[in-house]
Amino acid sequence: MIVYEKEDVFILIAQHDHARISGDLVSAWQGELFHSAELKAKLDYAAYEHDSSWIDLDRIPLWNDAANAPFSFRDFPGNIRFTFYSKGLDRVQETSEYAALLGSILYTTLAERFRNEDTIPFVEREFSRQSSIIEQLGLDVKLLQLHAKALLLCDELSLFVCMEQPGTPRQNYEWFAKGFPYWFDRSGQTSLLADWKGPHIIELDPFPFTKVVDTTLLYKEVSKAAISKSGIAAAYQDEETREHKLRFQPKQVE
């Protein structure tokens, strides 16, 4: 679950809904990154499914007594989280070895941000999965690295629109204030900047997609009063899912 707090409510975004935004972005990526339509389809699948391991975990949010807030993906107990990560990757691997490999690389990269006693055995298991798939498929490792970096960038752009209230100035983000690492510009540019232009439009510089990307953020707004009265599980289930329209577009020259 992705969670941020407002005065009287918590905003909760299911991880699989966040992943759908990542998938919409990857689907619009410039074509020269892919050597075949088959690889493009596998990367698209990896993006849309990379957080499917959270589907069951996010059905009923858990309450973090220490933080007096719902658990988010940032503080969710690792012994549970990583068990579900592995199961989710196993399911993806049944459909696509390459998509599971990309998802595994994404998870092990992110695990470094939350390094603790739970991350080490998970990362070791996933490194074994990665080595096995790379050897089995005889992959071009340089191309694989580009695909993994594209997936990571689109995942983080989706987190950018999910982790704070739409319209939040970039400098107010803990992770993204200085932009996003970028490896795809032949001019040598090494960072991508994302900035809100109002509550619905995000401008990107540079812009790595073939077209403006329109997508939808799904979320629930759960009141603190309802949580106090009924508990987080009932309060969450009683709320309707809301929609917030988003557009990613190139930076406009002023």
205, 149, 158: which is closest to 33 by C-alpha? Answer: 149
Q: What is the pTM of this model?
A: 0.93
Amino acid identity at 156? E
CA distances from 94 to 55, 60, 78, 89 (A): 17, 27, 24, 9
pLDDT tens-digit map of 120-133: 889 999 999 999 99
CA 181 to chain centre: 15
17, 54, 41: which is closest to 215 by C-alpha? Answer: 17
* Average pLDDT over the chain, rounded to an integer: 93
pLDDT of res. 200: 98
Residues 145-167, mean pLDDT to the nearest whole number: 95
Q: Where are the domains of the chain?
A: 2-250
pLDDT of res. 33: 74
pLDDT of res. 47: 96
Does pLDDT of 249 surpass 90? yes
Does pLDDT of 224 surpass 90? yes
Does pLDDT of 254 surpass 70? no
Does pLDDT of 31 surpass 80? no
pLDDT tens-digit map of 100-150: 999 999 999 988 776 777 788 899 999 999 999 999 999 989 999 999 999
Is-contact 45 38, C-beta < 8 A?
no
Is-contact 46 92, C-beta < 8 A?
yes
CA distance 30 to 211: 9
- Omega within 30 of 0 (cis) for the link into 206: yes
CA dihedral for 139, 143, 147, 148, sign (positive or negative):
positive
Does pLDDT of 59 surpass 80? yes
- pLDDT confidence bin for 194, thresholds 50/70/90: very high
CA distance 100 to 96: 6
pLDDT of res. 157: 97
Does pLDDT of 187 surpass 80? no
